[in-house]
Amino acid sequence: MHKVIFDTDPGVDDAMALLFLHRHPDIDLIGITSVFGNASIETTTRNALFLKQAWGIAAPVARGLGETFNPSRPHVDWPTGIHGHDGLGNIDVPKGIDLPLDPRPAHQFIIDTVRTNPGEVTLVAVGRMTNLARAVRNDPDIALLVKEVVIMGGAFDVPGNITPAAEANIHGDPEAADVVMTAPWPVTVIGLDVTSQTVMTRAMLADIAERGGTAARLLADISRFYITFYEQHVDDGMVVHDSCACAYVVAPEHFETRSGAIRVLCGGIADGQTIQKPDGRLFPPNAWDGLPSQRACIGIDAEAVLKLIGDTLAKVR
């Protein structure tokens, strides 16, 4: 069993990833931490509680901070054209959810949970890296106690999706992402190089909804707005970015990775760009020297990953 804390900004594809983690038999979902990104921290936290209630998820929800690691960064508008005004495809999520939050801020929840389960916790982060950066800055020793960090974000050998240089999660808080990439914990980055190849068609989603019961039907309702957005990018369906990171946790054999130190550009026209110095390449002294070697995904068996995601989402617990 993989003990997972899911750091998320729900978000349509975040909702799919959450249901995947909840339904996969090899995942023990021990916490959900909210972060701002696809919507405000108030909205993403409310959405996490809504999905926890709707899907009967036992894991506690802890609210993250509502500002970037560098608080002087200018605010970027919420992507309502992608995820809707409620963050979940305009399904009219109730304004209030009658469930308690964990009393700790998300970064402290991460610290405490990792220290309680040394060497066992995988952090799966599919939004901005703000909570993870704050946790490792406040308690650097947890980096040696985390089993693995799996990130959905970045673009290495392909263009970004928020600018030509940057992917949206990293661009939203580059300073936090650079802290996470350069900390001495094992990081695997599942970026646009591979997620852009995993397109779930309308037929696949309809099949999941038919097989997967009430929870899967809610997911299909949430996803309709997202599919409409993706009509300008793919022939049919939607790209399932966040679920790819969750699939990696249980089936890394479906992915090809490249090792090397990773830095994130902070500022300038390439703000948020992820750049890896591949292991074995020689360069003059530079800002990647002496940093831990992390893994960037550069290849994927998209068909196998989509089947894994679909079959997991269709399981009725």
| Type of residue at 164 | P
Q: Give the integer Cα–Cα distance in Å for 142 and 123.
A: 12
Q: For residue 56, how far is the Cα from the chain centroid?
A: 21
Question: CB-based contacts of 301: which residues, under 8 Å, 6+ apart?
Answer: 254, 255
User: Are 69 and 118 contacting, i.e. CB atoms less than 8 angstroms apart?
Assistant: no
Q: Please identify which of the residues 22, 83, 107, 241 carries the catalytic annotation.
A: 241
The residue among 291, 19, 35 whose CA lies nearest residue 172 is 35
User: Are 229 and 90 contacting, i.e. CB atoms less than 8 angstroms apart?
Assistant: no
Q: Tell me if residue 241 is catalytic.
A: yes
Q: How far apart are the first and last CA of the chain?
A: 17
Label residue 20 exposed, middle or buried (CB < 10 Å: 0-12, 13-18, 19+). buried
The residue among 255, 232, 261 whose CA lies nearest residue 301 is 255
The residue among 39, 85, 88, 99 whose CA lies nearest residue 64 is 39
| Type of residue at 221 | D
Question: CB-based contacts of 153: which residues, under 8 Å, 6+ apart?
Answer: 125, 126, 129, 167, 169, 170, 177, 189, 190, 191, 274
The first and second tokens of residue 189, run together, are: 């980055």
DSSP H or E stretch at residue 55: helix 41-55
Bridge-based pairing state of the strands 238-239 and 199-200: antiparallel
Active site residues: 241
